[in-house]
Each structure stands twice: as structure tokens, then as C-alpha cells.
């Protein structure tokens, strides 16, 4: 088999994993694809005579491309703003490839933290981010990670550990905020169903807005009169919300903005095209499970 054919076949075989690595590293589908394309250009010109582990070799190449892109991104931000601003992204769901959950491998994956994880990852140094993603998400040994970033295995372990503590802190904050919001939304729906104007008013900010209705009293009256009998507590793209369905199909999604424990804004979306693209999980009262 010609060397170029061998490289092409190995690259195609590992393409999905390479793209997943790049996506986790960069947080952007477009940048991930750019990284994979750049990795292909590099491996297509490389001497593969000494390659014994194609998967590991290809992962190393795409990781180094991502590391360069992260460093360039960081430099651009520091030059333009003098600091590293967070860029929340939409994580791609994933599963730990080992399927295990040892204390050191119990990573907080993007789908379990949501945008909070992406914000934290964007505050890590490129080396920290690489070490965390490769080890905790893709189970790459620290020896291989150290070789990619020109550090010892022990140094790579320290980088991943430091990043993991940051991510775990973000997860705790995210879970606490989500739980508090869920309680507020659940209480609001219960008050709306029973037409309890006083309870609604207690949950609403004095300047709350829903559509063309402004002011806490007006919004409370709006929902107390209609009682929202059919709206149910739900997770919409992982965030506590409410959904009204008809014949098993979501017809309206209520999203809530909560500040300082009060609802400041409620948006009611009935656009069928947008609703079709949402990840909606209906929750029973008291149900704390998430997907």
C-alpha cells in the first residue's frame, strides 16, 4: 500500500475522534474543522515510517494544532482587550471513552456543565486546557500529554489537576444557580395554576416584563387570570423553563430571567421552527433528574 493511501485510510478511520478532540479543545465547530484540516495537511506531508500507533500520532498532531490556535487566540485577546474575556459556547455532548468513573477520571464534561464549563475553559491557559481535555475527556496518558506540550508527565498532571479544580468550582456554581432557578420557576407555575396573585407577586420583580405587559402587578394579574393550567416545568436546552404542549407537541416555551431571586422577564416563544430545534425535557414535580 502506498504511504499516502495508508495515511488517508488512517486519517479517515480516526477522523471522528480527531474532530471531537479539536471541538473540546477549541469550543467551536468551525475552528475544530479548521484544526482537523490543518492536521491533515501536516500528516499528509509527514514521514510515517516510524509511526507505530496511528491513533496516538494523529491525536498528537491535531492537539498541537489546537494548542497553537489557543495560544494565538489568547494573544489576540490580550492585544485587543488587555485581558482574556470569556466566550460562552455550546458544548457538544460526549461520553468518556473509557466508560469508567475513577476519582481521577471523573471529568466534568461539557454536557454536564453547559456554558459554565466553556467559560471556565476559556480562562485556562492553553496548556491547562489541553491537559484537562486530553486526560479527563479522552483518557490520554500524562506521558503523551507531556510530550505534546514539552513538559514532564508530572507537570502535565499538575496542569490537568489545576484545570479540574477550576472546572469543578464552575460546576458547583452552575448547579446551584440552576437549582435555585428551577425552584423559582416551579413555584411560579404552581402559583399561576392556582391563580394565587399574592404568590405570583412575591416571585416577580416590581419591573418584571412579559411581552407587552410591564410591571410586577400587571404580570402577576396576567398569569393569575389565565392560570397557565397546561404549562409544565421543563428543561429547555438544560435550563429550567416551562412548556405548553398540545397532543404531545410543544406549542409554547416560557423562558425566565431571574435576578436576585426575582423573575425580571418572561419570554413566550411560539415559533414552531425554533421550538423544533430545542432540547426539551418535561419534568414531573419534584423530579431532579437532568438529561
Give the whole-number percent of the chain exceeding pLDDT 90.
Answer: 30
Pair (249, 147) in one structural domain: no
Residue 39 confidence class, pLDDT cut points 50, 70, 90? very high
Residue 174 confidence class, pLDDT cut points 50, 70, 90? low
Give me the pLDDT at residue 200, please: 93
87, pLDDT greater than 90:
no
Domain that holds residue 171: 3-176
Pair (46, 78) in one structural domain: yes
Pair (208, 169) in one structural domain: no
Mean pLDDT of all residues in 56-72: 92
Give the CATH number, domain containing residue 218: 3.10.450.50
Mean pLDDT of all residues in 56-83: 80
Give me the pLDDT at residue 184, please: 93
Last residue of one domain, picked from the residues 142, 176, 210: 176
Give me the pLDDT at residue 114, please: 47
In order of 5, 12, 14, 54, 148, the CA distances from 9 in angstroms are 6, 5, 9, 10, 24
Pair (211, 128) in one structural domain: no
Residue 180 confidence class, pLDDT cut points 50, 70, 90? confident
Residues 20-34: tens digit of each pLDDT = 899 888 888 889 999
Pair (250, 157) in one structural domain: no
Residue 186 lies in a domain: no
Q: Count how many domains the chain has.
A: 2
Pairing of strands 262-269, 204-210: parallel
131, pLDDT greater than 60:
yes
Pair (140, 33) in one structural domain: yes
Pair (171, 263) in one structural domain: no
Residue 20 lies in a domain: yes
- Decide if 134 contacts 21 (C-beta within 8 A): yes
Pair (68, 165) in one structural domain: yes
Contacts of 184-189 with C-beta under 8 Å, sequence gap 24+, read 184/256, 184/258, 184/261, 184/263, 185/233, 185/240, 185/241, 185/242, 185/256, 186/233, 186/240, 186/285, 188/223, 188/256, 188/263, 189/228, 189/231, 189/232, 189/233, 189/242
Give the CATH number, domain containing residue 148: 1.20.140.160
Pair (159, 94) in one structural domain: yes
Last residue of one domain, picked from the residues 124, 145, 176: 176
Residue 291 lies in a domain: no
- Decide if 108 contacts 171 (C-beta within 8 A): yes
Give me the pLDDT at residue 130, please: 93
Pair (121, 168) in one structural domain: yes
Residue 117 confidence class, pLDDT cut points 50, 70, 90? low
Residue 184 lies in a domain: no
96, pLDDT greater than 50:
no
Pair (156, 203) in one structural domain: no
Pair (40, 95) in one structural domain: yes
> pTM here?
0.49
Residue 150 confidence class, pLDDT cut points 50, 70, 90? very high
Residue 104 lies in a domain: yes
Residue 211 confidence class, pLDDT cut points 50, 70, 90? confident
Phi, psi of 138, rounded to the nearest 5 degrees: -115, 5
Residue 288 lies in a domain: no
Amino acid at each position: 500500500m502506498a504511504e499516502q493511501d495508508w495515511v488517508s485510510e488512517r486519517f479517515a478511520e480516526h477522523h471522528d475522534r480527531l474532530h471531537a478532540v479539536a471541538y473540546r479543545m477549541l469550543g467551536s465547530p468551525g475552528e475544530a474543522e479548521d484544526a482537523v484540516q490543518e492536521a491533515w495537511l501536516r500528516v499528509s506531508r509527514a514521514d510515517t515510517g516510524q509511526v507505530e500507533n496511528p491513533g496516538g500520532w494523529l491525536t498528537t498532531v491535531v492537539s498541537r494544532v489546537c494548542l497553537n490556535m489557543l495560544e494565538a487566540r489568547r494573544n489576540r485577546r490580550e492585544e485587543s482587550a488587555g485581558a482574556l474575556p470569556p466566550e460562552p459556547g455550546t458544548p457538544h455532548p460526549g461520553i468518556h471513552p473509557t466508560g469508567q468513573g475513577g476519582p481521577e477520571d471523573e471529568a466534568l464534561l461539557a454536557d454536564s456543565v453547559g456554558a459554565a464549563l466553556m467559560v471556565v475553559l476559556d480562562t485556562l491557559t492553553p496548556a491547562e486546557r489541553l491537559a484537562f481535555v486530553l486526560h479527563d475527556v479522552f483518557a490520554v496518558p500524562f506521558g503523551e500529554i507531556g510530550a505534546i506540550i514539552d513538559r514532564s508527565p508530572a507537570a502535565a498532571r499538575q496542569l490537568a489537576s489545576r484545570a479540574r479544580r477550576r472546572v469543578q468550582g464552575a460546576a458547583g456554581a452552575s448547579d446551584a444557580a440552576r437549582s435555585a432557578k428551577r425552584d423559582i420557576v416551579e413555584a411560579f407555575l404552581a402559583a399561576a395554576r392556582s391563580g394565587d396573585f399574592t404568590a405570583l407577586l412575591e416571585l416577580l420583580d416590581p419591573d418584571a416584563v412579559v411581552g407587552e405587559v410591564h410591571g410586577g402587578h400587571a404580570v402577576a394579574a396576567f398569569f393569575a387570570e389565565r392560570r397557565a393550567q397546561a404549562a409544565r416545568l421543563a428543561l429547555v436546552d438544560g435550563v429550567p423553563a416551562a412548556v405548553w404542549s398540545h397532543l404531545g407537541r410543544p406549542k409554547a416555551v416560557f423562558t425566565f430571567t431571574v435576578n436576585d431571586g426575582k423573575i425580571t422577564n418572561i419570554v413566550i416563544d411560539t415559533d414552531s421552527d425554533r421550538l423544533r430545534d430545542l432540547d426539551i425535557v418535561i419534568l414531573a414535580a419534584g423530579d431532579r433528574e437532568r438529561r
